[in-house]
A and B are shown apart, each in its own frame.
Chain A
């Protein structure tokens, strides 16, 4: 087989970095181990460079099993950018906590290798392998603080539910292979398109595969692991799970639903719509009850996943325009979500680094204890809610736009109501920071340049993308570089 090495350049760069980090770590002692962090960052920057180099080429390799379309590359840039931010927030956390730094960065890179593959994968088996490459290091990372019972609980819960979801998915894949004789997404689509009335068993199989991804993106009812795992894991790992791993899960979900299952959209799209509404409503309702900021962000991320699921509920077989808008909405929402949610975690880590606590009430008076942290956090929370002129508003806007184009006003109304609902708890944090009184004697908080800088940069991006949402530059919907998803949609 002829392999296009440039197409898999970013993945190779990361894989090499992983080995280098693991090797270097064993020669470093004590404090010096913290240099694995900048070393990793170098690898990520190289991977970003390699991604940019092949941008616009529209390469594919392994017989079309792996495509490096612009759409996939934007996803990779999103993931790699998130990776850099996560490295920035990991540095102090792991070097001061004296956790297993070399191992952590190795595992983190491994997980990202898997994530990078997902948006390019056009075969169920490759998708499955990539998903496992994300999940298995993540199980270990969740339990890295192994003297902490909660961390162990986080890992075990994550592992058990994760394995269950993967088993269900494999089961579904086997049925689909049996029915269509292929695991390649486009072949499956072609086989489905030829058979207008699917076997009920096949419908079950489709739902099982979707459920496997539902676990990854913490859609209700596969979300049970999320809050406990998020709150027990080391905080940078939580940020990774809540943003990067979730974005990768959505990338996979886009591929299987909009390419492979597209001919049967009339059957699964309503189910996705229902899941979307339940996910956002339940996530937001539960978030209202939280007192721990990490758990609040965990449930908020469940709610946010609900919004991202809405475009899936709009899919229609053969409706290229609507499907394009839907895929575009997913991609843009994920970019916005990554910026603002990693930012929020950067602030939480910064405050916890100083105070060692993470109840919402510990944020009381933050506006006067650390104006920069409080201002950036306010920006992130308001953006998560969808206030103007922040990127979160446009994320909601594209979802509304996609919904209106498909005349799905019930879904749009559900998003409207949930937007207001979510503001209750985002504003509760804002209120605590600005209107609340700090405990007597509570001093000024200095999160350090790295964390403060990360939060500042992300807040600036939130604002800039809020004024100039650059999503006209996204490849999705572009005539010259039509993503394979919509090509498949057009063919059927």
Chain B
């Protein structure tokens, strides 16, 4: 056992052990429980930071910290973990955001309180999310993929807003439907690969070396199954309807993790599994994905324009942003996949911070209705107001901040789709135009939101009231995200550079530029 082959396992097990430890703490030890969660997530974040620092960025295309041991013999599945350049940013983000969520929970926890249950679920969720990004066995991938459902279900259902029961059940069943179809597709891939003589037919690395050798129809059908699972998670239009409900009703921490990490599992799945293993299926589905993505961009933006609730607006903005990410994927080029993965990270950081801000907004105003808040935040709470404006502007894609690069690069990639998509060049041009219109609409609704809640003078009912500006604990949770937004905007190679070798490896054989 060396650090090299056990580091990831340690990082995955720490939250699980922590969840058990927190479950054993006495329920009246409120403060101690919250501090314990900060300590556990802090240590886990430390481990992942060490992994990141020890990562050889020059060979980011290769799996590092790899461990592969048999798990269920008769199924030929392995406990196969490792990180490459595609996994690493998402893996890191998972531990960072959960750590920040634990810090935030020191200050805020929605009714009915009970930090013990809440934090234990959050840690369980962390293992599920993190595992999804670092496992390279289809069965194991599915187990981690599904592991996030139950904790998130309880998080929304117990600590959520007024319509929590509806939202939690909808989230659970909707996601489940997609993922069970995905499971059947995985098993079909397993048999097909086994029949084609592949040695380790569950292994994602092996399967994505060359893609599966199978008839076109098989690839299309299997891709359809996998597509359902991932598309619902992303979510792509028209499978997005669980998202606004789940995001809006979830407690702040739940929304942050949903937007920041859970949605990324979908795009990650497309890039890691669907495209490389089923390349022919991908070529057939790419134009469809592109069309759905652009519909999502425009539809999401139009929905945002109609919202009056800040949190719901941010939720719908996710639909549009994930549309850009999927547009990048649909180009099937290296550049597009890069854009998608970059957009993933950027959206995770920005929208994560936005949901934090929306949560604190509710803590102060006890409403999220823009009409009731009525503006003047920059006067009333200058620091908070400034942070909201900053993040909203980052989200709408201002150059120099993180949101810009993902959208810009996705549109750029879609102008030049992969050679295998040459027949669809006209379509892709139309998609780029649609996406560009979407960026304008995105800017419109965010600016409109800023105008309605931040600018002007606060209405009388709020000017009398003492509303606290950003608390020290909130600074601690938010400042890292705000800094990352700036850093990624100024120097996008932070992420692009890490991913580059791994993406080249994955996309090379589809035939893109």
Interface 1/0s, chain A 383-413, versus B by CB < 8 A? 0001111000100010011011100010011
Contact with A along B153-190 (1 / 0, CB 8 A): 11001100000110011001100110011011001101
What 8 new A-B contacts, CB under 8 Å, besides A387-B146, A404-B184? A388-B143, A393-B146, A401-B75, A403-B184, A423-B176, A427-B153, A435-B158, A469-B72
Set of chain A residues within 8 Å of B158, measured between Cβ atoms:
434-435
CB-defined contacts of B169 to chain A, threshold 8 Å: 424, 427, 431
Q: Are A416 and B72 in contact (CB under 8 A)?
A: no
Does B357 interact with chain A (Cβ within 8 Å)? no
User: Which of A412, A420, A431 makes the CB contact (< 8 A) with B184?
Assistant: A412
Chain A residues with Cβ below 8 Å from B142 are 388
Q: State the CA gap A403–B183 with chains docked (Å).
A: 12
- List chain B residues, Cβ under 8 A from A477: 74
Best-surrounded residue of A382, A393, A423, A469 (most CB of chain B within 10 A): A423
Residue in chain A with minimal CB distance to B147: A388
Which residue from chain A places its CB closest to the CB of B183 in the assembled complex? A400
A472 at the interface (CB under 8 A from B): yes
* B310 on interface, CB distance cutoff 8 Å: no
Q: Say whether A419 faces chain B, with CB atoms less than 8 Å apart.
A: yes
Q: How far is the CA of A419 from the CA of B172 in the complex (A)?
A: 12
A residues adjacent to B (C-beta < 8 A)? 382, 386-389, 393, 397, 400-401, 403-405, 409, 412-413, 416-417, 419-420, 423-424, 427, 431, 434-435, 468-469, 471-472, 477
Closest to B76 in A: A472
Instruction: Please give, as numbers and ranges, the residues of chain B lying within 8 Å of A468 by CB-CB distance.
Output: 72
Known: A388-B142, A416-B181. A404 touches B172 (CB 8 A): no
Minimum CB distance partner of A417 in chain B? B177
Is B494 interfacial (CB-CB < 8 Å)? no
Determine whether the beta carbon of A387 is less than 8 Å from that of B164: no
List of B residues within 8 angstroms of A387 by Cβ? 146, 149-150
Q: Are A420 and B187 in contact (CB under 8 A)?
A: no
Whether the Cβ atoms of B74 and A416 lie closer than 8 Å is no
**CB distance A389 to B143 under 8 Å?**
yes
A471 touches B74 (CB 8 A): yes
Contact check, A416 vs B150: say whether CB atoms are below 8 A apart: no
Chain B residue numbers with a CB within 8 Å of A409 are 184, 188, 221
Cβ of B73 under 8 Å from chain A: yes
Q: Which of A404, A420, A469 contacts B188 (CB 8 A)?
A: A404
Q: Please, how many angstroms separate the alpha-carbon atoms of A409 and B220 in the complex?
A: 14
- For A431, the chain B residues whose CB sits under 8 A away are 157, 165, 168-169
Known A397-B183, A416-B177: A472·B147 in contact at CB below 8 Å: no
Q: Which residues of A contact B73 (CB under 8 A)?
A: 472
CB–CB B173/A400 < 8 A: no
B150 contacts A423, CB within 8 Å? no
Q: How far is the CB of A75 from chain B (nearest CB, A)?
A: 19
Q: Would you call B475 an interface residue if the criterion is a C-beta within 8 Å of the partner chain's C-beta atoms?
A: no
Q: Which residue of A lies closest to B114 (CB)?
A: A368
CA distance A382 to B157 in the complex (A): 15
**Contact call B150/A435, Cβ cutoff below 8 A:** no
Cα(A396)–Cα(B495), bound, Å: 39
Partner of B146, one of A388, A405, A420: A388
| Mask: chain B, 25-60; 1 = CB below 8 Å from A; 0 = not | 000000000000000000000000000000000000
- B177-205 contact mask (Cβ, 8 Å, vs A): 1 or 0: 10011011001101100000000000000
Cα distance A413–B185 when bound, in Å? 11
Question: Could you pull out 23 A-B pairs where Cβ atoms are within 8 angstroms?
Answer: A382-B150, A386-B180, A387-B150, A388-B146, A389-B147, A393-B146, A397-B139, A397-B183, A400-B184, A401-B75, A403-B184, A404-B188, A409-B184, A409-B188, A409-B221, A417-B177, A419-B180, A424-B169, A431-B157, A431-B168, A434-B157, A435-B164, A477-B74
C-alpha gap A225/B477 in the complex (Å): 59
8 smallest CB-CB distances across A and B, nearest first, come from: A472-B74, A388-B146, A404-B187, A416-B180, A472-B73, A388-B143, A420-B177, A412-B184
Per-position binary interface string of chain B over residues 269-284, scored 1 when its CB falls under 8 Å from any chain A CB and 0 otherwise: 0000000000000000
A471 CB contacts on chain B under 8 angstroms = 72, 74
CB-defined contacts of B139 to chain A, threshold 8 Å:
397
Provide the bound-state CA to CA distance between A468 and B72, in Å.
7
A434, closest chain B residue (CB): B158
Q: Is the CB of B191 within 8 A of A405?
A: yes
Do A424 and B74 touch across chains, with their CB atoms under 8 A apart?
no
List, in ascending order, chain A residues with CB within 8 A of B221's CB. Answer: 409
Bound Cα distance from A275 to B454, whole angstroms = 62
Chain A residues closer than 8 Å to B177, beta-carbon distance: 416-417, 420
A180 to B187, CA, bound (A): 40
Report the Cα distance A48→B165, complex, angstroms.
46
B100 CB, nearest partner CB in chain A, Å:
27
Closest beta carbon of chain A to B391's beta carbon, Å: 32
Chain B residues numbered 60-108 whose CB sits less than 8 Å from any CB in chain A: 72-75
